Amino acid sequence: MSSASSAATPVADSTRRRVAIVHGPNLNLLGSREPEKYGRVTLTEIDERLRAMGAAREVDVECIQLNGEGELVTWIQQAGPHVDGFVINPAAYTHTSVAIRDALLATGKPFVEVHLTNVYAREPFRHHSFLSDVALGRVMGFGALSYDLGLTGLLDRLG
């Protein structure tokens, strides 16, 4: 599944491990939106790199980007039975969404929270995360590399 297929549903289980990469609102604009803050790497480039990392470890990596909170909640609920874990950049919903937190918890699957920037070096309202206390781990501040580190950590924990 590509980051552009927002209406698609997760694919059925396979014999390989599966991980979902979930990108929240506005991340479809990476590469052009505030490049001094978020870098010039596009979401497509990030997804391609994560899929290659997964393939090297015989793991299927499915990537999705959705702007709507309800869409994210529905997708996470539908993906839950078909994946072994999540890497999620909830973007602005990090600081506001109990619904995304509850959806992730309802899956019973581990997840890693990632951010391109160091949220503690930004506005005070960005310092709180509704996910961090229930996440397996949290990676931030390394730009696109944050995703790589998050996926590596999740896969290592999954075994």
Residues carrying an active site annotation: 38, 115
Grouping H, G, I as helix, E, B as strand and the rest as coil, residue 50 is helix
d(Cα 143, Cα 150) in Å, to the nearest integer? 12
Closest by CA position to 131, among listed 82, 93, 158: 93
Backbone CA torsion sign across 153, 37, 47, 27: positive
**Which H helix or E strand runs over 112?**
strand 111-115
